Chain A
Amino acid sequence: MAEVKLMKGNEVIAEAAIRCGCDGYFGYPITPQSEVMETLMLRKPWEETGMVVLQAESELASINMVYGAAATGKKVMTSSSSPGISLMQEGLTYLAGAELPCLVVDVVRGGPGLGTIQPAQSDYFQAVKGGGHGDYHLIVLAPASVQEMNDFVDLGFELAFKYRNPAMILADGVIGQMMEKVQLSDYKPRWTDEEIEKISGDWALTGKKANRQRHIATSLELDSYKQEVFNQKLQAKYREMEEKEVRCEEIACEDADYLFVAYGSCSRICQKAVQLAREKGIKVGILRPITLYPFPTKEIANLAKKVKGILTVEMSAGQMVEDVRLAVNGLIPVEHYGRFGGVIPTPDEIVEALEKQIIGA
């Protein structure tokens, strides 16, 4: 069994990147995720696996370095926090438009604007609804523990390459800064040129050979009809993700009368709220979306048939609640409880909100 370590979520992202055979990291420091690049710089993976680690001059530069390197079929990534991710939106929509795989880690902090450096989940819309222009989606994974920060790096790359689409790990300051026990993944070697040819040879810019057409990485198509056909292809890809890639966890749902829907650190806080509520005789469970896009719509719709009411708990003014309401489609009441601007809800507050907004309503 691999060694158990005590590490911060951000440090684990760096370690997991090295171990999963990542070829390059391009980033620009911002709290609360600066430990990602700090750890990479300390670890010097270029001496060990050949992985490139580069501090770019800005987030715009980092995401465009990711675009360029991703076009060659390499496993590349960046990480940032909310204001930096906003700067990256142009690059992200171009990556989605050019169907290029990459991994982006967003350790969310409170906004809008420069906002605060404390944890938040107020970038849910930006992450799952597109963020940049055009009809596209990122694959969005929401870790709720330091262990999942490790596991989702590999999973993020796997899904990104499977669908030729950018994947995002949407964490927050709590998961990034907290230390927990973690079992790090085993080392996987970086892909060789031959392996890249085998995995991504039909699209990657690996140098034109005599026996094939040239590959072009672009998101530009001036013929509207062709662009429509391309959009239909993208949409078919998203439907396939919605069919095959939904991941979620049900906690204490078997006998539940009520349900919390919460992701990331809020799902952890809700677990404590479940204990407190059950001590009072209130049977409540949790549906924790692990993939935020694709969203566990069917799973929530099914649970809505069994429970009397749903409270979404988010560190936002109410974003995911819209997707929960769409899933529930008016069958039962769905209310939102949130703290925001960097304030973290407490388990007691959540129980009180459940009693007031759902049970007592």
Chain B
Amino acid sequence: MLSTVLIYKALIALGVFAVSLVIAMYSTYGERKIAAFIQDRVGPDRAGPWGILQPLADGGKMFLKEELIPGIANKWLFILGPSISMFVANISSVVIPWARPMVMEDGSTFHFQVSDINIGVLYVFGVVSIGVYGIMIGGWASNNKYSLLGTLRASSQMISYELAMGLSLVALIMTTGSLSLNDIVEKQDADFCNFVYQPLGFLIFIICAFAECNRAPFDLPESESELVGGYHTEFTSMKLGFYLFAEYINMFASSALMATLYFGGYHFPFENELIPSLGENGVRILGFVLLMGKIIFFIFLFMWVRWTIPRFRYDQLMNLGWKSLLPLSILNLVLTGIIMAFTEGWLKF
């Protein structure tokens, strides 16, 4: 039944959209609470018990602020910039499988995933590589020198770190033998998770993910102390909200990717032993909950690093990207190839 599957897929798409928005919303609360904890403060505690209504208050404030478009700015591109940022942030979690596939009554397998594209990893790359346009267009259209400087920093930073990220993923694809995220997760079922095989690759990937999300210590495009607000200096109201919110959604999406690619996604140790006692669905739900747990741990890691490590200088950022991460990822690729050539028996001695 094509239409039934289509309805289920639409429901999953809506669910993923809602979950990523809610998690991003509460990431802002989490970030303020974690920052407060690290800096020995209390953090937001007035809106609701323990301040848990704070994100709603923030969102309401963002919506009700005065909408301001500078007269010198390019109006359409000024509106287009934040829209692209938000759109791209939301489409990146399409290929992530959320729970164990279910075998339907008619024998077909149903994947808990919005779309099973057979080039899943490449799709993620494509989305990551066009993510910079929102910042570029918005920053340029502001017609402000601080915005332009932030834009230039963002674009050169993203281009530089994309390369190392791509190469670290190529090594992962080599060990898995597939570009589909479903296959990558299923491969980690019987085996160890990919982190065991690719520790260096994961390290490079997570550093690049920080840089791609423009998170501290790589938040030079919006460094408040030098560029006021970087690319979003001129933005007010919900357009600013979109930029800030897109950053949190990107964090959620890249945490989900890291959990899926390197930490087994919805798989967890001894799950096959648990199937008799919990049942297939119980294990499926437990796997989903654990996947969410992994994602929330990575989001926490993002915040932990932000409030621990100071910002890089710009030349240090470029040196790290081109002179350390890129050679390291090539080394990782070559090492993976050599080890695979021996273990898979391509070379006979």
Determine if chain A interacts with chain B: no
Chain B positions within 8 Å of A, measured between CB atoms, are none
